Amino acid sequence: MQWLWMFCLVSAAFAGCSNDDNAAAMPQVSEELTEEQFEELHAEVIRPEELWLTIPWQTDLLAAQQIAVAEQKPIFIWAMDGHPLGCT
Amino acid sequence: MSTFGDEKTVELIRDEFIPVAIDQWYTRSQEDAEGEFYRRIAAQGPRTDFEQTTQGFYLADAAGNLLGYNNNRHGTPLKRLLIQTANSFNENETFEPIVQDIADERYTRVVPEGTVTVRVNAKILGGYDEPESQWDEIFQNAVSRDNLWILSGEIESLSRGEFPVALATRIARFHLVDNTRGEPVMWRADQVKELEISLSDGLITGNAYLETDDGKRHYRVALRGHVEFEDGRLSRFDIVALGKHFGHGWYTPDPPDGEFPLAVTFRLADGSSVSDSVPPQGTKGWLPQYVELR
């Protein structure tokens, strides 16, 4: 009952906010997800294979420093707010 | 051209450098050998206030001498800098390895034993205005990335056909977020207004409603998914969450106007990507807030 009440509230809110131009392109959002929606979205919302992930990133700066010493190469540091490999 | 969208740039980083990716929020503050080495390098760049962000791309030798800095989202200046640095680097110079004696515990996140990692992606499915630039288009179509940790005791509960409350809470507070444009604001415990996730015969169903008291942010969402075990091992943990999100956080400005459809998907990590080892964003700053949920 609680969810039915919520569903009515949500539907009303969505109706009030809908934009005719956008509505056609918007996915259907409701109280429950169907198996079809699950399969479609699970396949769609995924990071594609990305070129930069072919780079053998270290995640520890000193480990990188030690490899740089051994291989006599400079270090490339990608320093971000949030981990570049995890929050991108 | 975006920063890593160019094959030559990626090839240079891969072949001519030792690449490392860090969350500088941690490293710039660490009172240990790693923090000291990072500050030594960053202090030679343009961002020397270690109370503020020092983000960017740094090129350095193993002694900590800065060879170049770039913080431009366009790829061409970075590629130019990489070529210059690779060409001028003296391969015959020798350096000493730096060993971490005692790591600063305040910034150390240890994965609890028996934890399973789940990849989490989110995408806004509509509601944006027509993009006005290449960068608008990239942001509008962005699929975010994070990891969810499922703790060993929670895996046991799942194997018994129960969806643990702590796992449901962790998903709601730290993963039902719009992180498609930057670091998101997580939900506080009191902002979880409704949450019900159940497991029956391997099928996950649920709903959640998350809202800030000031009404500036909310997300009403339905979930559906599947859990499977093979030989006692968790072999499938697939979930889709779909709902209407409203509002934004400090680092995630400019969402679509009004409510917009936001989908979040979950799938088991197979360890094939280096990003599988990155701790969840929700552990940032204080690990217990993420793992010690009831």
- Say yes or no to pLDDT of A22 above 50: no
Average pLDDT estimate for B45-62: 96
pTM listed for this prediction? 0.83
CA distance A28 to chain B (A): 9
Cross-chain Cβ contact B19/A56 below 8 Å: yes
Query: What chain B residue is nearest to A55 in terms of C-alpha separation?
Result: B14
Contacts 24+ apart (CB under 8 A), B26-33: B26/B107, B27/A61, B27/A79, B27/B107, B28/B54, B29/B107, B30/B103, B30/B104, B30/B106, B30/B107, B31/B104, B32/B100, B32/B101, B32/B102, B32/B103, B32/B104, B33/A62, B33/B98, B33/B99, B33/B100, B33/B101
Model confidence pLDDT, tens digit, residues B169-191? 999 999 999 999 988 999 999 99
Contacts of residue B183 in chain A, CB cutoff 8 Å?
81-82, 87
**Which of B18, B37, B240 lies at the smallest CB-CB distance from A41?**
B240
Cross-chain Cβ contact A86/B275 below 8 Å: yes
pLDDT band at A39 (very low <50, low <70, confident <90, very high): very high
Average pLDDT estimate for B97-105: 91
CA distance A52 to chain B (A): 6
pLDDT at B274: 86
B102 three-state secondary structure: coil
Cross-chain Cβ contact B91/A68 below 8 Å: no
Interface pTM (ipTM) of the complex? 0.84
Average pLDDT estimate for A36-65: 93
Average pLDDT estimate for B212-224: 96
CA distance A5 to chain B (A): 13
Question: For residues B240 and B222, what is the distance between their CA atoms, to the nearest angstrom?
Answer: 8
pLDDT band at A82 (very low <50, low <70, confident <90, very high): confident
pLDDT band at A7 (very low <50, low <70, confident <90, very high): very low
- Say yes or no to pLDDT of B107 above 80: yes
Residue B73 has, within 13 A of its CA and on its CB side, a CA count of 5
pLDDT at A27: 58
